[in-house]
Chain A
Amino acid sequence: MKATPDTATSGRRPELAVWKFASCDGCQLTLLDCEDELLGIADRLRISYFLEASSAPGPGPYDLSLVEGSITTPQDAERIRHIRAASRRLVTIGACATAGGIQALRNYADVAEYQAVVYARPDYVETLATSTPISAHVPVDFELRGCPIDRGQLVEVITAHLAGRNPDVPAHSVCFECKRRGTVCVTVAHGTPCLGPVTHAGCGALCPAYDRGCYGCFGPSNSVNFPSFVPLLRRDGMATLDVVRVLRTFNTGSPEFDAESRREAER
């Protein structure tokens, strides 16, 4: 994300917009959940469009657009282009916007067939065959990972934007955070399967701290080695189907998890 400090010094309050596509709202609510910082954010940014919080959307253009959700309909594919055109900086928030979300499971299925089974009048439903991340449609300035996103990282992205600096969001594995936190490794000490070694940091290694393996909510780290990693899951009791399933959750649409799950599924 390029630094653009101009609005910070011009005296004008930068305009913030929060947009929703196919998603559960959890990531947007993370912004409302920033109790301690919310007043500060509202003080420094004009919240011009945020339907979760206000019913009077401003006209744009926007300095910072936070985009939640994936693209699943032709209308949404069109809408994101308008939002991009009206936004100086566009940041995706969460696994849906960044990797297609859990709804990207449709990418492995026949959507027309599902529609016929589920809906009485499938012809009323207009949908795409896939769920895709925002970056598949428009250029994205920064992608914030997580399902849901981490509150501290969201504040960091907004603060960094205001200060005109790059956000400090490390892309290494969850294991880094796990060791820093002083957690006992659940794989080494308990034989519990854990996706930490291939998963992007950001949660603070939450699950291992509660004696569970990491589920990969933040998607792939910037340096994955599945051919070495998957045998470890097998050693700790995961069958091929389990491996496919654990990779096919919120970040299944990420190229790395997708490719590995397809390789496994073909075994």
Chain B
Amino acid sequence: MTGEAPTAVIGTEGMAELIRVLAARGRTVIGPTVRDGAIVLDELTDGDELPYGRGVELEAGHYRVRPRADGAAFAHSAGPQSWKTYLHPQRERQWNADRGSDGAWVVTEDDTPPPSYAFLGVRPCDLRAIAVQDRVLAGGPHSDNRYRARRERTFLVAVECTEPGATCFCTSMGAGPAVDGGYDLALTEVVDGGGHRFWARAGSDEGASVLAELPHLPADASLATVAHEKVSAAADRMGRTMPEVDLQALMRETLHADRWNDVAARCLTCGNCTMACPTCFCTSAEDVTDLTGDHAERWRRWESCFDLEFSHLPGGPVRASGRSRYRQWATHKLGTWYDQFDSSGCVGCGRCIVWCPVGIDLTEEAHALNAERAAGGPPGEGAA
């Protein structure tokens, strides 16, 4: 984008128009809406499907939708899904193979045309999570073409956080609550005596042209200041924090801590945390054959390091115990991710804490590991 980023103030009618404009440009608009007692992500066709007047009550292993007197639409966090549901779908065909009349196999890559999404309401932590998956799936020499195609066609409307949840810790992970690029449009929702407004900034040429199509409210010089203040106040109201230490080193140095036994006694190895996590990317291949044996398909589906079969090699699973599986998850998110992808694998969204049925809390585990290390617990490096 060239020149100064256009900004504008829009109201709830402008928000509804935003959905219509994006849909008219051929995009499938995905955003938050209330279903089955949660604020989920789903296709939106109209502004009134947004969760106006709904917030959430979050705790470890606990989620409830609650009414909000102020009518805000984006004062919620840690929903059960993340944008990876759309960018990195849970099951996807990779290729088809057919045996020709001469007996030879012909393999064709799946050519389903990629959808063109517009994501409405991407939180700053989720924006970071998308960037993390971009590095994992589309960075490096083995880029995933289908992921890349979906990603390149996606229009991102970020919404800054003014209302962190009780399980949020993006500030600790350097991932929020303000956005700093990587969006087409950024919004900050302000509801006060001046009304229900969104301070909007374009982050791309398409963002600017979409913004130009929306009905604008009269420019309100103080709104940008109010929005900034609300977002920086949010940074001080995070429900959770990580210990202020080098987390990568903490993971490396506590591999044999007693705390892993403690958490393993609680962990159900149910896999919910990895499925809910916006950065977890693991998949396994699924080969499908039909009854004739003349047609085969390769699918890919979400997999998790909590699955016993995930590390199955001849002779059995490498990570047979719950302890080794929880440790794999935590050390990958907070430690070895840096070695692999040069960033944290955790953006502090809190989903794994909320959606763990027994409420295991990654931040609490990190604090406990840190305390054990400080108390001179067993050394980390060396044989298991």
The one of B61, B91, B301 in contact with A188, judged by C-beta atoms closer than 8 angstroms, is B61
Minimum CB distance partner of A192 in chain B: B37
| Chain B: minimal CB distance from A256 (Å) | 13
CA distance in complex: A197, B271 (Å)? 9
Residues 240-267 of B, flagged 1 when their CB comes within 8 A of A and 0 if not, give: 0000000000000000000000000111
Chain B CB within 8 A of A179 CB: yes
Minimum CB distance partner of B304 in chain A: A176
CA distance in complex: A179, B266 (Å)? 20
Chain B CB within 8 A of A159 CB: yes
Chain B CB within 8 A of A232 CB: yes
The answer to whether B271 touches A179 (Cβ under 8 A) is yes
Q: Which residues of A contact B267 (CB under 8 A)?
A: 225, 228
Chain A CB within 8 A of B328 CB: no
The answer to whether B357 touches A185 (Cβ under 8 A) is yes
Given A170-B309, A182-B81, are A165 and B271 neighbors across the interface (CB < 8 Å)?
Answer: no
Within 8 A of A (CB), among B347-378: 354-358
Interface of A is mostly: helix
Interchain pairs with CB closer than 8 A, number:
130
Q: Which residues of B contact A115 (CB under 8 A)?
A: none
Most buried by A among B271, B290, B306, B322: B271
The answer to whether B291 touches A168 (Cβ under 8 A) is no
Minimum CB distance partner of B354 in chain A: A188
Most buried by B among A37, A170, A171, A198: A170
| Chain A: minimal CB distance from B172 (Å) | 23
Chain A CB within 8 A of B94 CB: no
Residues 153-194 of A, flagged 1 when their CB comes within 8 A of B and 0 if not, give: 001001110110100101111011001111111011110001
Could you say which interface size class chain A belongs to? 35 or more
Q: Which residues of A contact B80 (CB under 8 A)?
A: 179, 182, 184-185, 188-189
Q: Which residues of B contact A187 (CB under 8 A)?
A: 61, 357
Chain B CB within 8 A of A151 CB: no
The answer to whether B37 touches A190 (Cβ under 8 A) is yes
The one of B64, B91, B291, B293 in contact with A41, judged by C-beta atoms closer than 8 angstroms, is B291
The answer to whether A168 touches B286 (Cβ under 8 A) is yes
CA distance in complex: A177, B311 (Å)? 19
Listed from nearest, the 6 A-B pairs whose CB atoms lie closest are A179-B275, A40-B291, A197-B270, A180-B90, A175-B270, A184-B38
A-B contact pairs, 27 of them (CB 8 A): A8-B293, A40-B291, A158-B291, A162-B291, A168-B287, A172-B306, A173-B269, A173-B270, A175-B357, A180-B275, A180-B302, A181-B90, A182-B80, A182-B81, A184-B36, A185-B357, A187-B61, A188-B357, A189-B38, A189-B63, A189-B64, A194-B357, A197-B268, A198-B268, A223-B306, A225-B267, A225-B268
List 4 other contacts, CB 8 Å, given A40-B290, A175-B357, A189-B38: A155-B291, A175-B271, A179-B355, A198-B268
